Amino acid sequence: EAGVAQSPRYKIIEKRQSVAFWCNPISGHATLYWYQQILGQGPKLLIQFQNNGVVDDSQLPKDRFSAERLKGVDSTLKIQPAKLEDSAVYLCASSLGEIRVSGTAYEQYFGPGTRLTVT
Amino acid sequence: KQEVTQIPAALSVPEGENLVLNCSFTDSAIYNLQWFRQDPGKGLTSLLLIQSSQREQTSGRLNASLDKSSGRSTLYIAASQPGDSATYLCAVRANNLFFGTGTRLTVIP
């Protein structure tokens, strides 16, 4: 089974430029997540989609970050304009759903990430 | 808000030693706890997932325990190898997945 795919793997841009990241989740996974991982920290959730609807974007800096998941499959995360503090690894994850009827949570599977450097 | 803490932040051990990594969390209302491995410049590899109703999970040389009432988990690595060198992240699943800052492990040949 193919895993979560992300591209590009690396990106270097200057501040105030724009950048976009792409994620293709595991086939059949309804839930998709974008995380930001700053060097030396754990990943932090930016946005969560259930199919093509947003479930949680409370930690997404909406003045510069945007994300979409058209058709409920692939997703793109965009930053415009970028700041120095946006330098981080952006991780995409997917899961079959959120919470099972049994009350347990579905496991999230992570992609390899995109390392963004803003100079 | 859920907070996850991992101690120590870094650890160096000689090859062959057994070691324990610690994780603590502030809110016991969780669905599960997961341990991940992250190699430099790479994504996250899931090692073990413990459901909230479970006490421990084992996979090969790895054993993870969960004490939900005290908000603690440990990851035990037996007979460490240089290939175990990586950052180990603990994450708890509540309404979201909350991560600790990780323990950077170096196993010295």
Number of CB atoms found within 10 A of residue B15's CB:
13
Q: Is the pLDDT of residue A101 over 80?
A: no
Is residue B71 less than 8 Å (CB to CB) from chain A? no
- Percent of chain B at pLDDT > 70 equals 100
Number of A–B residue contacts, CB under 8 Å: 47
Distance CA B65, CA B43 (A): 24
Query: pLDDT of A35-70, one tens digit each?
Result: 999 998 999 999 999 998 999 999 999 999 999 998
Helix (H, G, I), strand (E, B) or coil at A74: coil
- Averaged pLDDT, groups of 10, chain B, 109 residues long: 94 97 96 94 91 95 96 98 97 93 97
Residues of chain B neighbouring A107 (CB-CB closer than 8 A) = 34, 46, 49
Virtual torsion, Cα A18, A49, A41, A5, nearest 10 deg = -70
Candidate from B41, B43, B96 with C-beta closest to A110: B43
A90 and A61 Cβ atoms separated by less than 8 Å = no
Is B1 exposed, middle or buried, given 0-12, 13-18 or 19+ CB atoms closer than 10 A? exposed
Other CB atoms within 10 A of residue B82 CB: 10
Give me the phi and psi of A71, to 5 degrees please: 65, 10
Mutation choice for A interface testing from B44, B66, B92 by most A CBs within 10 A: B44
Alpha carbon A29 to chain centroid, angstroms: 14
pLDDT over 70 at A1, yes or no:
no
What's the rounded Cα separation, in Å, for the pair B33 and B73? 8
Given this model, what pLDDT does residue B75 score? 98
Cβ-defined contact of A108 to B100 (cutoff 8 Å): no
In sequence order, which residues have a C-beta less than 8 Å from that of residue B72 and are 6 or more positions away? B22, B23, B24, B25, B66
pLDDT at A98: 84
pLDDT score for B21: 97
pLDDT at B1 (0 to 100): 85
Task: Report in angstroms the alpha-carbon separations of B8 from A14, B13, B21, B71, B72.
Answer: 35, 13, 7, 17, 14
Beta strands in chain A (DSSP E): 5-7, 10-13, 19-24, 31-37, 44-50, 53-56, 65-68, 75-79, 88-95, 109-110, 114-118
Please report, rounded to a whole number, the percentage of residues in chain A having pLDDT higher than 90.
85
Average pLDDT over residues A90-98: 93
Both tokens of B68, joined, read 């939900």
Residue A72: the pLDDT is: 86
pLDDT over threshold 80, residue A103: no
Q: How close does chain A come to B16, measured CA to CA in Å?
A: 27
